A and B are shown apart, each in its own frame.
Chain A
Amino acid sequence: MKTADPALQAMLRERNLRIIMPIASILAALGLWEFLVWYNDVPHYLIPAPSLIAKTLIQDWATLAQSAWFTVKLTLLSLSLAIAGGVLLGMLFALSRTVEISLFPFAVILQVTPVVAIAPLILIYVESTFWALLICAWIVAFFPILSNTAIGLRSADHNLRDMFRLYQATPWQRLRYLLIPSALPYFMAALKIAGGLALIGAVVAEFVAGTAGQNTGLASRILESSFRNEIPRMFAALFLVSVLGIIIFLTTSWLSRAVLGHWHESEIKREL
C-alpha cells in the first residue's frame, strides 16, 4: 500500500474539514428546526418547518425566480455603476487635491444620510421605479469604492514613486504600473463591502417603494406575503435573499484571492 505524504494528508483533511463542517452544522440546525416545529406542533403561520419552506419555494418558483432575477439585476447594475463612478471619481480625487476637497463633503453627505430616509424623495422625483431603486442601491455601494480607491491610489511607496520619476515615466505609465497595482488591495476590500451593500440597498429601497408595479423584486415578495400572512413564502423569499448575499460574498472573495493571492499579505496562506 502506498503511504501518502503527511503534509498532503493534513491539507486534504483541512479541506474536508472546511467543507464538511459548515454543511454538517447547517444541516443539524435545519434538522433541529424541523424537529422542534413538528414536536411542539407550531402552526405554519407562526414558524414554518424547513420542509414546508422548501415546498413553497418549489411551488412558487415561477414568481420567486422572477423576483430574484429583478433583485439580481438591480444589485449587479448598481454595483457596476458604483464601481465605475467610484473608481473614476477616486482617480480624480487622487489626481487633484482641489477636486477632492470640494467634492468630498457631497460624498460624505450621501454616505451618512440613511438610504431609507432619502428613498421616498428619490421615488417622488424619479418616475421609473427601477431607476429610483437603482439610484438608492448605488448611493449605498458607491462610497466605500470611492474612498478606498482614492486612498489606495495615494498609498504607493514613496521610493517607488521616486524610481518612476528617475526613469522619467509618463503619467500614464505611473498610473498603469505603479498606482493601480498599489490601489488594488484597497479596491478589493471595498468591493467585498460594496457587493453586500448593493444588495442591502436594493432590498431596503424596495421596501420603501412598496409593492408598486408588476416586475418587482424579492423585497416586494416578502412585503406582499406579510400582508397576506403567507409566512412560508416570506421565509422562501428571505432564503433567496440570503443565497444572493452569500453568492456575492463568495464571488468577491474569490476575485480578491485571484487578483491578490500571489503577492498581497491579506490573501497569502502562511505555512506554520
Chain B
Amino acid sequence: MMEQKILPEAPVQIEMSNVDKRFGNNVTAVQGMSLQIREGEFVSFLGPSGCGKSTALKMISGLLSVSSGAISVNGHPAGQSIDGSDVGYVFQEATLMPWATVFDNVYLPLKLQGLSRKEAGPRVREALDMVGLAKFSASYPRQLSGGMKMRVSIARAMVTKPKLLLMDEPFAALDEMTRFKLNNDVLDLWKSQGLTVIFVTHSVFESVYLSSRVIVMAARPGRVVHDIPLPGGYPRTGEYRTTAEYAETCRLVSNALEGTMDNVDINH
C-alpha cells in the first residue's frame, strides 16, 4: 500500500484577522473577516453583489484601509511594501492608458519605480511574451479587442514579478470563449510563475474551474460563510469542465452560495 505523501505546509502569505470595513454612509461592507492564505494557493472570493468581495480585495492590496482588525501581506501590513512591486492587481476593466502603446502601458509599473526604458525593455517584452502579445507592443489599446486589452492588463500586473496576483472580476465583461481562454492563461501563469492568486468572481463555474479553494461570502453585512477547499487536481484543461467531479463540485459550491441568499429580500 502506498503511503500518501504529506507536503510540509506552505508558509502563510496573507493573514486577515477580524477585519471590519465600514463606509461613511454607515454601510458595513465587510464584518469580522478572518482568513489565512498560504503561498501558492489559488483562492476565489465568490458571492453575490454587495458581499464585500471586491472590498476585501482592495483592502488586501492596500487601496482601501481597514476600519478595524489587521491584514498582513508578504510579512508587512497591507499596502506598505517598499515599492508596491510584490503585488499585482488586475481591475474589472482593462484600465489601460489610451494615449500609451501596449509597451508603455506594461512598462508603467517599472517606470514608476524609476527604471529607464532600456533597463525595463527585456522585462516588458518577457511579460508581453507571457500573454502572447509580443507582436502588439507598438499598438494602441483602441486597436485591440477586449480580450487582448485584458491580457495587456495582466502583463502589466506581472511585469514587476509579484508574488501575489489580485484579480477583481477581470473577465466579467468578456464573451465566454475569450473568458475560457483567459482562464487557462491565468492557470498557466499561476503554475509557471509560482504565484498566489486571489480571484474575485460571481461565477460558480469560473471559481470551481480555477481555484484550489473557494471562499463563499454573503451580503448585508459582507462576511465569509464558507471556506471550501476544492478536491480537483491540476493541470485543468477544457476537458475538466466535462467531468463528473467538476459537476459535483459546482453543485456543492452552488448550494453553499444559495444558502447565503436565503435572507435576501428580492425587492431590496
Interface of A toward B, CB cutoff 8 Å: 157, 159-160, 162-169, 173, 177-178, 181, 184, 262-264, 268
Return A174 CB to nearest CB of chain B, in Å. Answer: 9
B175 adjacent to chain A (CB < 8 Å): no
Asked, given contacts A159-B93, A163-B89, whether A264 binds B99 with beta carbons under 8 Å apart, the answer is yes
Interface of B toward A, CB cutoff 8 Å: 61-63, 83-85, 87, 89, 91-93, 95, 97-100, 108-109, 111-113, 140, 142, 160
Quick check: B63 and A166 within 8 Å, CB to CB? yes
**Given A168-B112, A178-B97; 5 other pairs, CB 8 A cutoff:** A166-B89, A168-B83, A177-B97, A263-B142, A268-B142
Quick check: A165 and B142 within 8 Å, CB to CB? no
Residues of A with C-beta under 8 A to B87: 166
Quick check: B113 and A160 within 8 Å, CB to CB? no
Q: List 6 A-B contacts (CB under 8 A).
A: A159-B95, A162-B91, A166-B62, A167-B112, A168-B112, A169-B112
Q: How far is the CA of A184 from the CA of B112 in the complex (A)?
A: 21
Please indicate which of the listed interface residues B83, B84, B140 has the most CB atoms of chain A within 10 Å of its own CB.
B84
Return B219 CB to nearest CB of chain A, in Å. Answer: 23
Residues of B with C-beta under 8 A to A181: 97, 99-100
Return A260 CB to nearest CB of chain B, in Å. Answer: 8
**Closest Cβ neighbor of B160 among chain A residues:** A167
Q: How far is the CA of A181 from the CA of B97 in the complex (A)?
A: 9
**Closest Cβ neighbor of A268 among chain B residues:** B142
Residues of B with C-beta under 8 A to A167: 83-85, 108-109, 112-113, 160
Return A159 CB to nearest CB of chain B, in Å. Answer: 4
Closest 3 CB pairs of A and B: A159-B95, A167-B112, A168-B84
Interface of A is mostly: helix
Residues of A with C-beta under 8 A to B89: 162-163, 166
Asked, given contacts A162-B63, A166-B61, whether A177 binds B111 with beta carbons under 8 Å apart, the answer is yes
Residues of B with C-beta under 8 A to A173: 112
Q: How far is the CA of A169 from the CA of B93 in the complex (A)?
A: 21
Asked, given contacts A262-B140, A268-B142, whether A163 binds B99 with beta carbons under 8 Å apart, the answer is no
Return B144 CB to nearest CB of chain A, in Å. Answer: 12
Quick check: A184 and B99 within 8 Å, CB to CB? yes
Q: How far is the CA of A163 from the CA of B111 in the complex (A)?
A: 13
Return B170 CB to nearest CB of chain A, in Å. Answer: 12
**Closest Cβ neighbor of B92 among chain A residues:** A159
Residues of A with C-beta under 8 A to B160: 167
Return B65 CB to nearest CB of chain A, in Å. Answer: 12
Residues of B with C-beta under 8 A to A163: 89, 91, 95, 108
**Closest Cβ neighbor of B142 among chain A residues:** A263
* Cross-chain contact of B112 among A162, A164, A263, A264 (Cβ < 8 A): A164
* Cross-chain contact of A264 among B63, B91, B93, B98 (Cβ < 8 A): B98
Asked, given contacts A159-B93, A181-B97, whether A263 binds B108 with beta carbons under 8 Å apart, the answer is no
Quick check: A160 and B97 within 8 Å, CB to CB? yes
Quick check: A157 and B95 within 8 Å, CB to CB? yes
Quick check: B99 and A263 within 8 Å, CB to CB? yes
**Closest Cβ neighbor of B104 among chain A residues:** A177
Return B143 CB to nearest CB of chain A, in Å. Answer: 10
Q: How far is the CA of A211 from the CA of B142 in the complex (A)?
A: 54
Return A173 CB to nearest CB of chain B, in Å. Answer: 6
Q: How far is the CA of A184 from the CA of B97 in the complex (A)?
A: 13
Asked, given contacts A166-B84, A263-B98, A264-B98, whether A177 binds B63 with beta carbons under 8 Å apart, the answer is no
Q: How far is the CA of A132 from the CA of B69 in the complex (A)?
A: 64
Q: How far is the CA of A242 from the CA of B177 in the complex (A)?
A: 58
Residues of B with C-beta under 8 A to A165: 63
Return B114 CB to nearest CB of chain A, in Å. Answer: 9
Return A83 CB to nearest CB of chain B, in Å. Answer: 20
Please indicate which of the listed interface residues A157, A160, A163 has the most CB atoms of chain B within 10 Å of its own CB.
A163
**Closest Cβ neighbor of A158 among chain B residues:** B95
